[in-house]
Each structure stands twice: as C-alpha cells, then as structure tokens.
A and B are shown apart, each in its own frame.
Chain A
Amino acid sequence: MSTAPATAEDPSPLRRWRAPRVLPLLAAAVILLVTSPLVFIVLRASESTAAQAQRLLGRPLIATLLWNTATLTAAVTVATAVLGFATAYLVERTDLPGRRAWTIVLAMPLAVPEFVHGYSWVSLFPAVHGYWGAVLVMTSSLYPLVFLPVAATLRRGDASAEEVSRSLGRGAWATLWRVTLPLSRPALAGGALLVALYMLGEYGAFAMLRFTTFATAIYTQYKLGFDAASAAMLTLALCLLALLLVTLEARAGRGGRVVREGATGRRCAPLGLGRWTVPALAGLGAMTGLALGVPVYALVYWLVQGTSTTLPPASILSAATTTLGYALSAAVVATAAAVPVALYSWRRGTRLARTAERAAYLTRALPGIAVALSVVFFAIRYARPLYQQPPLLVAAYVILFFPFALTAVRAALAQVPPGVEEVARSLGTRPAAVLVRVTLPLILPGLGAAVAMVALTASTELTATLLLRPTGTQTLATQFWLYTSGLAYGAAAPYAALMVALSVPPVLLLTRRTLGPKTLETS
C-alpha cells in the first residue's frame, strides 16, 4: 500500500526456516538441573553393596521408621483434610460473622515455620512430645495447606450445582455430602498431598518433639554416623514414598474437570448457620488459639523472659544479613531460571511443553532433606572444592524453591494478553527486542513477586541449611536451632520472631493469589 517504504530495505534473502532453539534448550537445561537430585540419590544409593543394603534394610529400624512415618503422615493428613475442608466451607458457604477476617487468620499459621511451632509447644508444655504431640503440632500448623485450595475452589466454582441440588429437595447436609464435597475433591486431594509431602520431609519439628521418622533418621545417619551410603538409601526410600503419594493424588484428583470455573460463576446465598453460629465461632476460635495463639504467646513470653543463655552471644543482625544474602541470591537465580521454562510452556501449548513444565514441578515431591543430601553427594563426588561453600547452599535453595518461582512467573505470564508478542513482531521487532520491550515489562511485577516469595520462604529454611551451610556461617534458622538445642528458649525467641515476621508477607501473597485479589479488602 505504501508508495515509499518507511525504511528502505533490500529484499533480504530467505532464511532457512528454523524454530528459535535457544528457549527450548534453556528450558531443558533448567529442568534437568532441578530434577537432578533424584538422579544423584539413585547414583549414590547404587554405590552401596548388596550386603550393606540388606543389612540396613533388614534392620528392625527400617520397619519402625516406616511405621512411625506412615501412621503419623496418615493421621495428620486426615486431620488436616477434615479441618481444612470444614474451615473452608464455613468461610465460603455460610453466613459466619467476619468471614473475610477469618480467611486471613486461618491462613496465618503458615507464617510460622513448623520447627517454630514445635518450639512453641515444647518450650511451654514439656508434656507435648512423641506421636500425639506430633499429631497436634503438625495438624495445627499444616491445615492451611488444605484450607487455601479448597476455599479457592469453593469460591471460584459456580455455585449453581449446589443450588440445583437444593431445588431438587436435598437438604444442606445431603448437598454438602453429595455435591460440594465431590466438587472440591481435586483441591482436597492436592492440599492433602502437600501436607503429606511436608510430613515426609520435615526434620526440625520432629527432632524437637523427640519423634523419629525417616527424615530425622536420615539426618542422624548422615550427621552423626557420617554414613552417607545408608543415608542415601534411606533417602531413596523416602523419595519413593513421596512419588507413590504423588501417584495416588493424581488418581484421587481425577475427574476434577467437572468443576466449572469462570468469572461468571455466581456465589450462592450463604447457608444460614442459625443456632450453630456460636459453636462454629467457638470451634474456629479454639483452632486459631492452638495454631496461632500458642506460637504468638510463646514468642512473646520468651521475648519478655529475656535472653539468658550460657551459649556465646551471637548478633541477630549478622544472622539476618547472612540469611537475606543467601535467600535473595537464591531467589534471583530461581526466578531467572523459571523465566525460560515458563515462557516455553506459555508460548507453545504442545504436549511436550506441558510435560516439561510438569517435570519441573516434580521437585515439589522431593523432601527438603533429600534435595540437600543429593547436593552434598554431588559436591563430594564431583565438586569437592565447592563442598560447604556458599554456592552449594544457594543451589539447594534454588532446587527446593524453584516450583514457587515457576508458579509465580506462570501466573504473571497468564496475565499477558495473548498475541501481543506476535503483533510486536509483525511491527518489525526482532524476537529479542520483543522480549525486552513487551514481555519482560509486562511480567516484571510477577518477577518481583517470585523473588520475594522465594527469598522469604528460603530465609526460614532449616534442614538443608544445617547440612550445607559453610562452616561458621549462621542463618536465622540455624542460630535459632543452636539455641533451642541448648534449651536456651529465651535466646532463640528473637530469631523465631524475626522469621515469623519475614514469613507474613509471602503468606498474604499466597492467600491473595489463591483466593483472588478481593480477599484482602475489607468488606
């Protein structure tokens, strides 16, 4: 149409058609990297001789560990599923007073790291320990992992199925049982899986509660006996357990496509609680007291009691600086690594791209202690000079928290209107320039959220840090651990308080992202 082209350009020679290969290669490299722990664990475990394996696996210890881990995980998973669903139903489907406030309060126990939960109970009530102590502490600290996804499903799901059920003459209970519960099954299964995976990987809280599970046994084997081969074999068993759980969840969550999600989904009229209002409020109050009141009270109590300790004084400031340094580096690396994976699967809706992305989420199933040990194995084997050096700790954080970064970057990309990249190219912009001028500016807030999420989560990490920190370095979590191991509860309190304070923003962010932006507005 133009008589004179805007920019005079010779008819350029045709290029051989080729897909831009940089992105898939980068994405593949990142995915390989974050899934490598599994490979190293298998490699290391295969080094132990058959006799060794038989001796270790034949010991009664294994049976005890398996029994302890399985029964505790089952009890806590069931308890969190019941509590998580009940609280989500109360908040999303009834006329409970102060529902918005309750949403925040119910999610808040996530801001208290599990080992701080353990510390609060143990330091206040020495009677809380062993199996039932672990059930109590872990249930009250982990139920939000079920509450959040179920509440999100109830909020987004179209309520018309429930209204139809009521119109067909089913009562509130029958509707709850036959419609609401099946519709929230995928979210329920997903949340329960997360709880179970946390249970498998948790070390700090169980050590404090003096309850032996796979994770604590691995830690002890490795740290005290320095028996790396046994630790590797136990880790492998733990990973297999985790993968088994993931498979089970995939089955339980199947059929989840029946849930209709949409902006048009109306919320049905909330169910009147009537005379059940007071008991419901009392129940939620008691739960909040256990899950949030105890830790807060313990922290305040020990902060007031003062920091009398026989251990050498340490500077909380230096620990905080060290922690943030490691956490921020890990966050920046993890976010940068998440960008190519997210971009690849966002641009290509192919099966290959989706599978690749799912593989990247696989690390979520790996217990923290397994990731840490695999990094240790790798360093001892292939990179001896790096052992107990800062890069290794950062690498472990990156692998551990990569799924958080990927989720955040994917969420940001989902906000990018489809087609803007193509339009930019049709306006004469090269692919690299499109990334700089269009895509990156659009996902910048999301990248910020990813960095914040990973940094703040990593700053309360204990297990991997204990195993991988450079000698002499203390983070908030390890210094806290040092004090509580010496029963210096008062000295440990400021560290715990700081970690809780650092965890509040990511929990608010998570709540907001799961439940939608309106959650945090007062209504």
Chain B
Amino acid sequence: MTGLTIQDLYASHGRTQVLSGVDLTVEKGSLACVLGPSGCGKSTLLRVIAGFHPATRGQVALSGRLLDDGRSRLPAERRRIGYVPQDGALFPHLTVAANIGFGLPRAQRAGRVAELLDLVGLAGLGGRHPHQLSGGQQQRVALARALAPQPELLLLDEPFAALDAALRSDVRAEVAATLRRAGATAILVTHDQDEALSFADTIAVMRDGRIAQTGSPQALYREPADARTARFLGEANLLTAELDGSTASTALGVLPLTEGSLGTGRQLVMLRPRQLQLASLPGGDAVRAEVVRCLFRGHDYRVELAPETVGGLPERLVAYTDSAPFEIGAQVYVQVSGAAHPVGDAAAEPAAARPPATPVPAR
C-alpha cells in the first residue's frame, strides 16, 4: 500500500493561488524531498498535508485514509502526521523529556522518551531545557518529539536551514540515518539542491505551484526533463543540437544521447560541467576556447570558457577540472565525455548558460 497520495491539489492564500494541481506519491518507508525555489509553494504543500492549511480542491490521502478533499478535512491532531518546522519550535517551558513526551499518553512516556533520546543520541540530556541545547541538539529533539507518537508520515520543513554551514551536513546525515533506522516515511522540503540530492530516495522538483518532475536524485541530476530543472539541480551547459534518433550533433561533435532518450530535430541538450575535458593541445572534435575565469574550490577548479566557434554554443561554457590551474586568457581545447541529455525545444530556451541559483561553491 502506498503511503501518501496527492491528486490534483489546489490551495491558495487569500486570492493568491499557491498550489495549482500538485500530484505526488510517496511510498511507505521512503524519504522524499520536495525541492523548489522560495515561493514555489512547497511550504504550503507541507502545511496542507499536515492539516494547518485548507486545500481548495483535490485530494490528500494517507494509507487510504482521506485527509482533505477541499470540502472537508481531518483536523491536524487526528492525522497522525509528525511535523518538524524550520526552527524546531520546541516548547520553551518544557524540559527535553517533556517535549519528547508531549504527544504520548502519560503511561507510555517514561519508556518511550528514553528510547527516543537514545535514538537521536541525546541520552542523559532529558532534564535540560531547550535554551540549554545547541542548535543541532534542538533540531534532534524536535525530530525525536515528532517521532515519539509513531506517526505514519513525518514532515520536515527546511529543518536544517537555521543551522550553520559546518553543522548542517552532519546533522542532515544523522537525521537521514535516524529516519532510515526508524523505517519512517518522511517528506523533506528544501530549496537547497545539495541537501535534496544527498538526503532523499526520491526528489520532486516543484515550480509555480506544481510538481515539475519526480525521480531519484541520480535520474534528476543526469536526465532532467527540462532546462530549468537542469539548472536548478546544478550548473549545466546547454547546447543547441540537431537530434537524430539516438545521437546529437553539436558544435562539440556528435554525441550519444542518454539511455532511453530519443529525439529528432533541433533541441537543447545538457552537458554537466564534469563532462567537459580540457586539454592544452588540439585533437579530435575539440573546440578552441579562451579561459575567462578560473576559481579554485579546494576539491577542484571551476573554469569558465569563451568558446571560439559560437554556432549553437552558449557564450560561456563551464567545466570542473582537477588538473593544474589555467591562466586567464590561455587557449584550451574542449572535448566531451559521456552522453548528452535532451532538455527540450531549442526555441523555447535562451542558449546562454545562465549562472545557476548558487554560483559560488556552497561549502
């Protein structure tokens, strides 16, 4: 039986339509992630699922139980859905143990609270108050509190955004591990593609109040459905290409298409920066380009190139490379490894590779 099913869901804030036809399915026991830019409606989606915001149309069902169909809805307290908001929202007047035990019947509290303190690695801290904990610890208490009544679904609304960068990836990994240990079904909402790619089994990319694409992190990264999704998940080079069944002829040579994708005619194809190989000597189909910028990022270099032949090429190409630095103004030769992925109609998209949402390496 599937966990959560959402069909054609609409919701609005006053007169502003926020969700316009969301379809989403989350399998029981999986970690899903709703990824989208700020203002795309992802938090509202979470609040509709939790029961804090009414839907205007559509259906939300959990394990066959109807939660909201736009006309009637189950109150939040009867949904058995756990909720971890951005800042944790611990009850400041209660101890850690009382926070975790809040949703439990009195008789079960002592045993279950100890169990959960162990689960989140905070054994012995039950007597503290929230303000005596670090940000990461608070977030783990919020998680334990939400898990305590054994909800059928756990919702996490950007739970790591308030933590500082160094702590974030650690807590994220821990939370993911804890959720897997507990066998939980969970939905994480975030605007951070790194977070989504490293946390979830399934990612749903959300845009303008609807789900643009759903898939595994690998599938979304390598085979995005359109150019916007491609850019949203990381930097992408978009080239105009002439498709012929399973190959694409581009200014960088004739490239195979990714497995399962076929196409004909003029289309845009995507190459991730890692697929561009730089060499100082010409060879094969290599295109000459001038190094415009070169940024050292610790684990590799990010090189921006101005290619010489502009036919079908964007003004700037981006490559990630491990080799020694290139000087600004140096001439290099660009070659492609791997397959190109078609991302749609060439006319619909400008050819220039716009900077991605986060051009500077995050961490």
- Interface residue? B314 (CB, 8 A): no
Is A427 a contact of B150 with CB atoms below 8 Å? Answer: no
Report the minimal beta-carbon distance from B53 to chain A, rounded to whole angstroms.
10
Cβ–Cβ < 8 Å partners of B75 in chain A: 15, 425, 430
Report the minimal beta-carbon distance from A438 to chain B, rounded to whole angstroms.
6
Report the minimal beta-carbon distance from A348 to chain B, rounded to whole angstroms.
11
Cβ–Cβ < 8 Å partners of B152 in chain A: 1-2
- B71, B93, B108, B148: the one within 8 Å of A441 (CB): B93
A17 to B91 alpha-carbon distance, docked (Å): 28
- Interface residue? A167 (CB, 8 A): no
Which of B179-187, B189-197, B277-285 touches A? B179-187
- B83, B90, B92, B184: the one within 8 Å of A422 (CB): B83
Cβ–Cβ < 8 Å partners of B183 in chain A: 1
A6-33 toward B: CB 8 Å interface, digit per residue (1/0)? 1101011011110000000000000000
8 A Cβ contacts from A402-444 to B? 417-420, 422-431, 437-438, 441-442
8 A Cβ contacts from A190-208 to B? none
Cβ–Cβ < 8 Å partners of A126 in chain B: none
Is B54 a contact of A428 with CB atoms below 8 Å? Answer: no
Report the minimal beta-carbon distance from A352 to chain B, rounded to whole angstroms.
11
- Interface residue? B146 (CB, 8 A): yes
- Interface residue? B312 (CB, 8 A): no
Is B149 a contact of A420 with CB atoms below 8 Å? Answer: no
Is A422 a contact of B74 with CB atoms below 8 Å? Answer: no
- A1, A6, A15, A420: the one within 8 Å of B185 (CB): A1
Cβ–Cβ < 8 Å partners of A430 in chain B: 75, 77
- A1, A12, A350, A422: the one within 8 Å of B76 (CB): A422
Given the interface contacts A2-B150, A14-B66, A426-B50, does A420 sit within 8 Å of B89 by beta carbon?
yes
Number of interface residues of A (CB under 8 A): 31
A215 to B85 alpha-carbon distance, docked (Å): 54
- Interface residue? B207 (CB, 8 A): no
Given the interface contacts A1-B152, A1-B182, A423-B85, does A429 sit within 8 Å of B103 by beta carbon?
yes
A430 to B51 alpha-carbon distance, docked (Å): 13
8 A Cβ contacts from B74-101 to A? 74-83, 85-87, 89-93
- Interface residue? B317 (CB, 8 A): no
Cβ–Cβ < 8 Å partners of A58 in chain B: none
- Interface residue? B172 (CB, 8 A): no
- B14, B72, B82: the one within 8 Å of A17 (CB): B72
**Nearest B residue to A433 by beta-carbon distance?**
B77
8 A Cβ contacts from B128-176 to A? 142, 145-146, 148-154
8 A Cβ contacts from A172-205 to B? none
A424 to B29 alpha-carbon distance, docked (Å): 24
Report the minimal beta-carbon distance from A441 to chain B, rounded to whole angstroms.
5
A426 to B91 alpha-carbon distance, docked (Å): 13
Is B149 a contact of A419 with CB atoms below 8 Å? Answer: no
- A15, A422, A428, A438: the one within 8 Å of B52 (CB): A422
Report the minimal beta-carbon distance from A318 to chain B, rounded to whole angstroms.
40
Is A1 a contact of B184 with CB atoms below 8 Å? Answer: yes
- B54, B73, B91, B105: the one within 8 Å of A420 (CB): B91
Given the interface contacts A7-B105, A11-B65, does A419 sit within 8 Å of B85 by beta carbon?
yes
List 25 A-B pairs, Cβ < 8 Å: A1-B29, A1-B185, A2-B152, A12-B78, A14-B66, A14-B69, A15-B72, A15-B73, A15-B75, A417-B90, A418-B87, A420-B89, A420-B90, A422-B85, A423-B145, A424-B91, A425-B76, A427-B148, A428-B78, A428-B103, A429-B102, A429-B103, A438-B91, A441-B93, A442-B92
Q: A418-B87, A427-B146 are in contact. List 16 more A-B contacts (CB 8 A).
A: A1-B28, A6-B104, A7-B105, A14-B69, A14-B72, A419-B85, A422-B50, A423-B85, A426-B151, A427-B103, A428-B77, A429-B103, A431-B77, A438-B91, A441-B93, A442-B91
Listed in ascending order, the chain B residues whose CB lies under 8 Å from chain A are 14, 28-29, 50-52, 54, 65-66, 68-69, 71-83, 85-87, 89-93, 102-105, 108, 142, 145-146, 148-154, 182-185
Listed in ascending order, the chain A residues whose CB lies under 8 Å from chain B are 1-2, 5-7, 9, 11-12, 14-17, 350, 417-420, 422-431, 437-438, 441-442
